[in-house]
């Protein structure tokens, strides 16, 4: 509103001149204090905005710090997982190498087992031959003993016959 219009409205209101004067002074004071009130209001808003921006900045800083800690923690965990994976891959490669060498050893053991079985069969055959030869040897020994017994008996008989006939002649 315009001050001239306000003065005209107050004068036309039919109020006493002293009341009109008070109203005019109040209106003038309002006009003069309005920019200051707007300035204070804007200043408070700006303070609240700055405070909110500060809080937002603090929240963002806190959030960034928290996210940084999480990323650091997850990076450390990921490094541990990578280390464990590398160790597992290394152990797996070592085990594969051992399996391949053991496969070669298994083939060698199989060949040696075959040779051992062949030698066991040869030893069993020789043992059978030795047992048969010992049986033959015992039979010969028994025959020799029997022949020696017969020879002894014949010698005894011969000596007895010589003694009997030798004295008669």
The answer to whether the beta carbons of residues 15 and 23 sit under 8 Å apart is: yes
- Mean pLDDT in runs of 10 for the chain (169 residues)? 66 72 80 79 72 73 86 92 93 91 87 94 93 92 92 88 71
Place of tokens 């290394």: 90
Q: How far apart are CA 137 and CA 143, in angstroms?
A: 10
- Domain with 62, as residue range(s), is 3-168
Q: Please give the Cα distance from 164 to 169 (Å, whole number).
A: 9
Write down the H helix ranges in the chain.
Answer: 3-12, 17-168
């Amino acid at each position: 509103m315009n001050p001239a219009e306000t003065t005209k409205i107050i004068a036309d209101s039919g109020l006493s001149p002293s009341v009109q004067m008070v109203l005019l002074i109040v209106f003038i004071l309002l006009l003069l204090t309005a920019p200051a009130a707007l300035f204070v209001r804007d200043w408070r808003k700006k303070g609240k905005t700055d405070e909110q921006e500060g809080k937002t900045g603090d929240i963002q800083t806190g959030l960034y710090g928290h996210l940084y800690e999480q990323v650091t923690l997850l990076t450390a965990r990921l490094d541990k997982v990578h280390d464990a994976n590398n160790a597992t891959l290394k152990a797996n490669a070592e085990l594969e190498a051992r399996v391949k060498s053991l496969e070669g050893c298994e083939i060698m053991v199989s060949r040696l087992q075959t040779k051992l079985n062949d030698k066991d069969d040869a030893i069993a055959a020789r043992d059978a031959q030795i047992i048969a030869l010992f049986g033959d040897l015992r039979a010969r020994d028994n025959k020799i003993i029997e022949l020696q017994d017969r020879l002894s008996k014949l010698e005894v008989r011969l000596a007895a016959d010589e003694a009997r006939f030798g004295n008669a002649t």
